[in-house]
Structure 1
Amino acid sequence: MHMKLTATILILVVIVTAFAFRHPASNGKAYTDNYNKHITALEKSEQSLLQLIRHTDVNTAAGRDQLINKIHECRLSLKASDFWTRYLLPETYKKLNGPLPVEWENEVFEKYEQPYRLTGAGLSLAEIYLNNEEEKFAADTLISLVENSLIGVAAYRSDSLAQALNKPDHFFLANRLYLLNLAAIYTTGFETPDTNRVIPELRFMLQATADIYKTFDQAFPDRSLSVPYHQRYDEMIRFVNSQPDAYSLFDHFTFIRDYVNPLFGFNQEMIRAYGISSRHYYDYALSDTVHSIFDKALFTSHQIKGVYAFVDDPKVLSDIKEAGRLLFYDPLLSGNLSRSCASCHRPDMYFADTTRATPFLFNHQGSMTRNAPTLINSVYNHLLMADGSHMSLQLQGKAVMGHPDEMNGIADSLVERVMSCKEYETIFKRLLRYTPEEKKVNIDHIISAITYYYAGFSQYYAPFDNAFNKGTSIDADVKAGFSLFMSKAKCGTCHFVPHFNGLKPPYLASEFEVLGVPADTAFRQLSPDSGRYLACPAPETLHAFRTGSLRNIQHTAPYMHNGIFRTLEQVIQFYEDGGGAGRGLDVPNQTLDKAPFKLTVTEKKALLAFLGSLNEAVVVDKAPVKLPASKVKRYNDRKIGGEY
């Protein structure tokens, strides 16, 4: 309890410090009154729900239906205040509407510390509990979920937050998160257990937020939302009101392209024009300059330059990149001079290896347990490797080079080998001036050149991006497939816009899922790989794996951490069947819904068309014609790209 209280106080202090700055105080009473009205409405609705639980028999169908209807009523109050609550106290929000009973967080601002356990509570979990036919229902469980939610609601009444609300700066940053969530989660069922409620709740939230906009403009006329913003927002409300109630029929593509994305651009313009800034950790990674959600500069996740972080000179960066290119293909970095980075991450295969389920072991006496994933777009994950065991590109690279099953190298020995080549020696000694704290070339210089090289291939765009960034046309099948992806196919609840990986707004943490991946295609047993558990031992993390990007997915077979599936059709069928648990495997902590569902042949075709629209126009340079010569003659027999 002490740690939780300390964390809450710290966040409140950060928020007040961030927003209590240079703008003179305005008459924000109407705005803060509106905030307090929404918080009070949420509190009263949950108190009413709590009383109903105490006087209802939860083990009768009629009693459960009555409670679920009351939860739906409460959810409207939750959605009406979501604009504020999700941004101002993000950890507390998980008590209001946590998607999982337990989450293990490892976010950017503290990712060099051990992951910590967050207990969820609130309305979604209460509804999920009541809908679980395998449970023996207990009123105490529901009471606990709602009581903890009410404790969370009380935190939003603090004097510190009231001070923040009296300044306009928080508004545009909260609005940015709101718009990103409109694109990424609010229409997917990510936090709405009854998918029949997704679009009705969206309509209610849009209108409630319009009311927030109105009171903000009245309170802060010198910081009001622009006329184009209001016009587009009103058009969005009319569009959503014209759409079907079923989220599987909702036009997700048009909603984001024609409304959410332009609104995001307008809000970014106002952040810059009004000089809005913040030290709230929720704004840590997001860019203030991009105009599109599908701009690859939307957020920053890794320092791709490593020790060369402060180098901006294009000529010097070009030299670093060229050194990295040579090293990427150079087996000099392996213990036996026979394996290079390009051995397992083949540039002609989108920096993956499509020829094998998993790569050969270093000793060639078997295969590794995990697939060689593409390096393209790996920079858009905060935690790396399938189990999230590495926190930076450079740490990952060093681990791979030193791992006895992979490249089996020794750092000091590898540096000596590299520096035995005159071409490498010349460039790295010249680059030393840009890392003045280092007196001699070390493994970090070598790794940083490699990460800077391959990270450059993550800057390309796909036809789907161009539809948002350039207004280019896209096939009807792609639009239909995207809507399926965001709804019936349940993909969008784990693969979030815009990178379709496990990072959801505000893009601070990599999510891990337990899918029940089998060891064989006959589903005789579960893959023995413990996944995230190896880096963060907990019951919830056993067999959990980081959610990877779906970009270029058509080019990067085989699929899953163990390369068990060769085709996307097999992958889709796996999800349709409800993952491993749906196929009868014992996966008690599976996060994927084990209830099977069916897609028609036409729907599968559309879904595949959408996935194809994520293929990026990556231009890969050719392999070096030759590698730098070494003073050690036996090193000069090495082959470009390695032997296996």
Structure 2
Amino acid sequence: MKYLNSKKAYIVFVCLFSIVFGCKDNTPNYSEVITKTKQPLDVLELNYKKLLNNCINNLNALEHCEDYETALKYYTKARHNFKSLEPILAFVDKNNYMSLNAPNILKVEEEDATDIKIKKPFGFQVIEEALHDDALSLKDVAKVTQITKNRLKLIEQNTQLKLKNYHVIWLLRDQITRMALTGITGFDSPVLENSLEEAKLNYTTLKNILNLYSNNFKSLDLLNEWKKEISVSQDMLSGDFNTFNRYSFIKNHTHKQLKLLNKTVYDWNVNFPFALAFNNDMTSLFSHNTFNIDFFANYVEKDSIRDKKSKLGKILFNDKRLSRDQTMNCATCHKQELAFTDGLKNFPEQKRNTPTLTYAALQQSMFYDGRTGNLEGQIVDVVNNKDEFHSNLEDLSLVVKSDSTYTNFFNRLYEKGVNDANIRNAIAVYIRSLNKFNSKFDNNINALENTITESEINGFNLFMGKAKCATCHFAPVFNGTVPPNFTETEFELLGVPKSKHLPAVTDTDLGRHDVFNTPERKHFFKTPTVRNISKTAPYMHNGIYDDLEELMDFYNNGGGAGLGLEFEYQTLPSDSLNLNADEIKDIIAFMKSLEDN
């Protein structure tokens, strides 16, 4: 069936669950409760509320602690409760979950110039960092703990249970991918780096959900296969954070679990009402079939004419007649052989470095400052820019209408023929086709070839672990769009200098700030993809770094802060990553393996 566009149709469904986790907080015995009630949804609600209550109680104890050791003990208990709740909480209440699990940086929400909200962070990451601050203040810990506790109380009071079979599948898929893409990277355990142990708690939750829905399984062998796979995954997660083989885990376990999930869909006879960011039949995180591209486009393209629109868009992309003086087309700045960049620090008369268009469709903001929300809007900006096409939408339509070949194409593919919206759509559909997922890395992690080197694997593991690259450049796209929901593309303040000359001088480009003049957004820029990075030099929004070695040196030394620049809101940790020369070499080797074939 054709799925409705999820961004328009998706409703956040409330569903609850039951688990047993590591901390002994008087959780009701799972098997006893289900025997008494014989209603899975009743069990879900009862134990979910119990776990919420346990988390609240541990936070309440933490709030009133008078010494560090006791505070850390209660934080650990509350954190275990929270991570055990995560699979369901993150699914049914995404906004509250993201707030409770947010990084310890200022949250800026900019809907438009009249609706800008600046929010101080709270939640478990903030508590964790406060407990490990050199200037530890238990009063400060108590304040953020109270806010966190009160938010959980609000969630507890408003808990309701609504869960259908396809919700369960989505929930399982979200958590499986969340663990692989953010969990095991240390994204939400920045100090303790306890992510592997917490993933075990997540898996215990998933196992108990599958047990709860055991009557849905026609094949008990499939259920037993799930149990075995989860146990093996938990055993593998017993490793050290810095040496953990994330490549092997994703290739041999995450992908296997996604395949089991597809078997479960068939076994349960599940029908989905629509698709979210991930395709409902995805079995790999790194495949051309991973994403539902229409989720990012705000509408659904007909598959029968998608390729034809793309071919038309490619012709328009390369047509210089679309610019006023007929000397420039899209390909002037976005050259295919350079992964759709231009190889320049910045194109003449342009303020910033030209970004790649590969994988550009898999994000929620366009341009380095995120001033447009989709590709069609980005094209408007290019057409109107006096230093680019220097035209307007009306003239654009007239040029295309004057060509009978174009007119025939548009009349066949679009109900209203040639107009500026359809011209922009055709070009955008072409750009949305530039997500190949066929690099050396993709082919190897999908077991299509066996050519990846030990250095490249080690580089991926470092990228996803010790180096913390993947806490901003999220796999599988390796950009700033946050999985597994992919509804938000992040902006970061790295402290990029104006030039490589020392002493360093702050770059004058204020980035995101200039969109809405929000002071807290000065020098923030969208996190781009590192896919095809081997072809897209020079790097950063101002093209300051000529090669990947210079780029890695900047990150390894703490960004702008490491250069002696002061930024109140720098999001890149100022401490050195302590990567040695071999580790940097391996990370670069991995990034080069992301070059599309």
TM-score bracket for the superposition, by shorter chain length: 0.7 to 0.9
The residue aligned with 1:338 is 327
User: 1:232: how far off?
Assistant: 1.5
State whether residues 242 and 462 of structure 2, in contact with CA within 8 Å, keep that contact through their aligned partners in structure 1. Answer: yes
Unaligned runs of 5+ in 2: 1-8, 18-37
Aligned ranges for residues 447-462 of structure 1 at < 5 Å?
447-462=424-439
User: 1:114: how far off?
Assistant: 6.2
CA distance in 2, matches of 1:194, 1:145: 17
CA distance in 2, matches of 1:302, 1:112: 28
State whether residues 495 and 561 of structure 2, in contact with CA within 8 Å, keep that contact through their aligned partners in structure 1. Answer: yes
Aligned ranges for residues 439-450 of structure 1 at < 5 Å?
441-450=418-427
State the AA in 1 paired with 2:232: E
State the AA in 2 paired with 1:254: S
Unaligned runs of 5+ in 1: 1-10, 20-24, 57-62, 362-367, 618-644
Aligned ranges for residues 121-160 of structure 1 at < 5 Å?
121-133=122-134, 137=137, 139=139, 141-158=140-157
Pairing 1:403–2:382 present:
no
For residues 168-213 of structure 1, give each alpha carbon's deviation from its aligned partner in whole angstroms, at most 9, with x where no partner exists.
5432222111101111111111110224423333334434543444
The residue aligned with 2:345 is 357
Q: Secondary structure at the residue paired with 1:264?
A: helix
Distance 1:288-1:311 versus aligned 2 partners, 3 A rule: closer
For residues 399-436 of structure 1, give each alpha carbon's deviation from its aligned partner in whole angstroms, at most 9, with x where no partner exists.
1111112221122223323333xxx3233244235433
The residue aligned with 1:80 is 84
Distance 1:296-1:132 versus aligned 2 partners, 3 A rule: farther
State whether residues 253 and 482 of structure 1, in contact with CA within 8 Å, keep that contact through their aligned partners in structure 2. Answer: yes
State the AA in 1 paired with 2:317: F
Distance 1:196-1:397 versus aligned 2 partners, 3 A rule: closer
Pairing 1:378–2:360 present:
yes
For residues 340-393 of structure 1, give each alpha carbon's deviation from its aligned partner in whole angstroms, at most 9, with x where no partner exists.
211111112111011x200012xxxxxx22001111111111211111111121
User: 1:158: how far off?
Assistant: 4.3
State the AA in 2 paired with 1:399: D
Aligned ranges for residues 591-630 of structure 1 at < 5 Å?
591-617=571-597
CA distance in 2, matches of 1:449, 1:196: 46
Aligned ranges for residues 540-619 of structure 1 at < 5 Å?
540-617=520-597
The residue aligned with 1:467 is 444
The residue aligned with 2:508 is 528
The residue aligned with 1:486 is 464
State the AA in 2 paired with 1:130: L
The residue aligned with 2:30 is none
The residue aligned with 1:329 is 318
CA distance in 2, matches of 1:410, 1:79: 52
CA distance in 2, matches of 1:600, 1:264: 35
Alignment match of 1:15 (pick from 9, 13, 16)? 13
Alignment match of 1:164 (pick from 154, 162, 165)? 162
Pairing 1:45–2:47 present:
no
Q: Secondary structure at the residue paired with 1:232?
A: helix
Aligned ranges for residues 203-214 of structure 1 at < 5 Å?
203-214=200-211
- Size of the aligned set, in residue pairs, is 565
Aligned ranges for residues 256-271 of structure 1 at < 5 Å?
256-271=250-265
User: 1:455: how far off?
Assistant: 3.1
State the AA in 2 paired with 1:612: K
CA distance in 1, matches of 2:219, 2:133: 47
User: 1:127: how far off?
Assistant: 2.0
User: 1:41: how far off?
Assistant: 1.9
CA distance in 2, matches of 1:205, 1:322: 44
CA distance in 2, matches of 1:304, 1:284: 10
Q: Secondary structure at the residue paired with 2:525?
A: strand
CA distance in 1, matches of 2:57, 2:16: 30
Pairing 1:477–2:455 present:
yes
State the AA in 1 paired with 2:122: A
CA distance in 2, matches of 1:461, 1:97: 33
CA distance in 2, matches of 1:307, 1:427: 23
Distance 1:231-1:615 versus aligned 2 partners, 3 A rule: same
Distance 1:312-1:299 versus aligned 2 partners, 3 A rule: same
CA distance in 1, matches of 2:448, 2:10: 41
Distance 1:17-1:34 versus aligned 2 partners, 3 A rule: closer
CA distance in 1, matches of 2:198, 2:85: 12
State whether residues 376 and 454 of structure 1, in contact with CA within 8 Å, keep that contact through their aligned partners in structure 2. Answer: yes
State the AA in 1 paired with 2:348: F
State whether residues 271 and 288 of structure 1, in contact with CA within 8 Å, keep that contact through their aligned partners in structure 2. Answer: no
State whether residues 307 and 445 of structure 1, in contact with CA within 8 Å, keep that contact through their aligned partners in structure 2. Answer: no
User: 1:273: how far off?
Assistant: 4.6
The residue aligned with 1:629 is none
The residue aligned with 2:490 is 511
CA distance in 2, matches of 1:576, 1:189: 17
The residue aligned with 1:7 is none
State whether residues 329 and 342 of structure 1, in contact with CA within 8 Å, keep that contact through their aligned partners in structure 2. Answer: yes
State whether residues 473 and 479 of structure 2, in contact with CA within 8 Å, keep that contact through their aligned partners in structure 1. Answer: yes
State the AA in 2 paired with 1:522: H
State the AA in 1 paired with 2:237: V
User: 1:216: how far off?
Assistant: 4.3
CA distance in 2, matches of 1:458, 1:443: 25
Distance 1:491-1:289 versus aligned 2 partners, 3 A rule: same
CA distance in 2, matches of 1:598, 1:187: 20
User: 1:521: how far off?
Assistant: 1.1
State whether residues 304 and 451 of structure 1, in contact with CA within 8 Å, keep that contact through their aligned partners in structure 2. Answer: no
Q: Secondary structure at the residue paired with 1:192?
A: coil
Worse-superposed segment, 200-209 or 572-581: 200-209
State whether residues 95 and 152 of structure 1, in contact with CA within 8 Å, keep that contact through their aligned partners in structure 2. Answer: no
State whether residues 277 and 296 of structure 2, in contact with CA within 8 Å, keep that contact through their aligned partners in structure 1. Answer: no
Worse-superposed segment, 560-569 or 225-234: 225-234
State the AA in 2 paired with 1:298: T
Q: Secondary structure at the residue paired with 1:129?
A: helix
CA distance in 1, matches of 2:97, 2:42: 24
Report the aligned-residue RMSD.
3.2
CA distance in 2, matches of 1:305, 1:124: 32
State whether residues 16 and 163 of structure 1, in contact with CA within 8 Å, keep that contact through their aligned partners in structure 2. Answer: yes
User: 1:85: how far off?
Assistant: 1.5
User: 1:226: how far off?
Assistant: 3.0
State whether residues 106 and 569 of structure 2, in contact with CA within 8 Å, keep that contact through their aligned partners in structure 1. Answer: no
Distance 1:600-1:239 versus aligned 2 partners, 3 A rule: same
TM-score normalised over the length of structure 1: 0.80
State whether residues 59 and 74 of structure 2, in contact with CA within 8 Å, keep that contact through their aligned partners in structure 1. Answer: no
State whether residues 125 and 145 of structure 1, in contact with CA within 8 Å, keep that contact through their aligned partners in structure 2. Answer: yes
TM-score normalised over the length of structure 2: 0.86
CA distance in 2, matches of 1:383, 1:521: 29
Distance 1:132-1:17 versus aligned 2 partners, 3 A rule: closer
User: 1:323: how far off?
Assistant: 3.5
User: 1:132: how far off?
Assistant: 3.3
Pairing 1:226–2:223 present:
yes
Alignment match of 1:35 (pick from 48, 56, 75)? 48
Q: Secondary structure at the residue paired with 1:374?
A: coil
